[in-house]
Amino acid sequence: MILIIDFGSQYNQLIARRVRENHVYCRIETPGITIDDIRSLAPEGIILSGGPASIYEKQSPRIDPEIFDIGLPVLGICYGMQFMVAALGGTVKRAGKREYGFAHLEVKDFRGLFQGLPQTTTCWMSHGDSIAKLPRGFKITASTENTNVAAMVHPQKKLFGLQFHPEVAHTPQGKKILRNFLFVLCGCKRSWSMKSFAKNAIEDIRSAIGNKKVILGLSGGVDSSVTALLIHQSVHHQLTCIFIDNGLLRKNEGQKLKKVLRQHLRINIRFVNAQGKFLQALAGVTDPETKRKIIGRIFMEIFEAEAQKIKDAEFLAQGTLYPDVIESVSAFGGPTSVIKSHHNVGGLPRKMKLKLVEPLKYLFKDEVRLLGRELGLPEELIWRQPFPGPGLAIRIIGEITPKRLTILRNVDDLLLEEIKSGGYYQKLWQSFAVLLPVKSVGVMGDKRTYENIVAIRAVTSKDAMTADWAKLPHKFLGKISNRIINEVNGVNRVVYDISSKPPSTIEWE
């Protein structure tokens, strides 16, 4: 295991990714971690991340300098290196101007970190301060034109520093450098796999939960499904999942989930049909925020009432992922889990005195998918595109009525069928239809029509923070439009949304 100390760098998740890609487990911790805690985690090496601060700032993040004496290899990156230098008696000078971008790296020592590297290579720099004087026992191992100490080593103590960023794609030899750190210098083994993760997680869950009962809110998305499966495989029928059908789901969504999770995987699920309650409360509502608030409130009420029915439940499980946890880890505070708004049962643990179980909290999304596969989750669920908690309510612009829900469901179903058979489903972040609150004139079989318009939205994205509209082929879009207008009653016009996020959002409401 490798411990990464978070000094606030925007690249922290990337460092963790790079380590895990090599089948080595890693954890990100705050600089506040004590030496005793580090010892009990028993890492094989430590990476000190970069960060936006200057070590001369009063508030700059610091870790107990004893970390350099515990005998473990330590790699300091950018700020991490500067911290190491300052803590061990060297000097860091404030730079007149930032060095940002590509630089030519000249390697001077091919042992250790730079084993197998060419003499010169490109690296990515992003720093203000630089090393002016090395602490005792350190040597320069690489330089660039502007930065004399681009890399350093204390060979006896196995302390290493890099002024550039090996974790970013702009440093082409970065992966090799990190591999050298992991395997040559720390002696890590390639033992981290989803198989070993699953095995350990199942044991951990078992010992945490004992013979107590667990509740889980199932949304049908990959995170909550994988959480359910993992807990089910740990404590079987001590787990009860609650799935609330709010009447705003895609066509046959509830039935599909029932079939896969309950019949096929034998997970204990309570299906709550609350369609009437949601649709009644939404009748006549057109304002997007009001829709969301109503849906959130009713969801909470129903979830709580259902959870109360499960007598003696002591745990609430959630599919919180690592990025949600890391996002809330500041270099100056402790990690706390952010509960995703769509799971929206944030207040429940305290209110019902439930303890949280978050078995995915050290995984990234693609690792959750791999875990799902390892546990036997069908591909169809593993690759499901994200679907918002408020469901079709925020894709029906204007009033939500049963008739308009049926139209949108039929369009959406047909669209997904085409997207899947065209081979686009996994390439797109999301693809869906939106029903507009305006009608338009058309002509069908010599007759005038006055019917609904639907918009097709298809986007590519990495994390939903930014998104680009998908450049689907015109012929393919034409086929979708033809099928929708011919096969779905009540639609006579299809438009394609060509806006990116920002400034638009993915969903229309």
Q: Which residues of 176-202 are buried (b: 16+ CB within 10 A; e: fewer)?
A: bbbbbbbeebbebeeebebeebbeebb
Residues that bind ligand XMP (CB under 6 A): 341-342, 386, 388-390, 430, 464, 501, 505-507
CA 127 to chain centre: 27
Cβ distance to ligand XMP smaller for residue 331 or 392: 392
Amino acid, res. 100: Y
CA distance 410 to 500: 26
Q: Is 167 a catalytic residue?
A: yes
3-state helix, strand, coil in the chain (%, to 5): 35, 25, 40
Q: Is 165 a catalytic residue?
A: yes
Q: Give me the residue whose beta carbon is nearest to ligand XMP.
A: 342
Encoded tokens for 40: 């009990």
Cβ distance to ligand XMP smaller for residue 38 or 415: 415
Single out the catalytic residue among 29, 99, 123, 167: 167
DSSP string, 434-498: EEEEEEEEEEETTEEEEEEEEEEEEEE-SSSSSBEE----HHHHHHHHHHHHHHSTTEEEEEE--
Q: Which distant-in-sequence residues (6+ apart) come within 8 Å of 199 by Cβ? A: none
CB of residue 494 vs ligand XMP: minimum separation in angstroms? 21
Cβ distance to ligand XMP smaller for residue 131 or 228: 228
Cβ distance to ligand XMP smaller for residue 73 or 389: 389
Query: What secondary structure letter does DSSP report for 213?
Result: E
CB of residue 12 vs ligand XMP: minimum separation in angstroms? 22
Encoded tokens for 174: 């970065």
Single out the catalytic residue among 127, 154, 165, 342: 165
Cβ distance to ligand XMP smaller for residue 361 or 501: 501
CB of residue 77 vs ligand XMP: minimum separation in angstroms? 31
CB of residue 430 vs ligand XMP: minimum separation in angstroms? 6
Single out the catalytic residue among 78, 123, 186, 241: 78
Instruction: Give the residue from 387, 341, 383 showing the smallest Cα distance to 507.
Output: 387
CA distance 430 to 459: 6
CB of residue 179 vs ligand XMP: minimum separation in angstroms? 34
Q: Are 506 and 395 in contact (CB under 8 A)?
A: no
CA distance 340 to 347: 12
Q: Are 272 and 215 in contact (CB under 8 A)?
A: no
Cβ distance to ligand XMP smaller for residue 164 or 299: 299
CB of residue 126 vs ligand XMP: minimum separation in angstroms? 28
Q: Which residues are catalytic?
A: 78, 165, 167
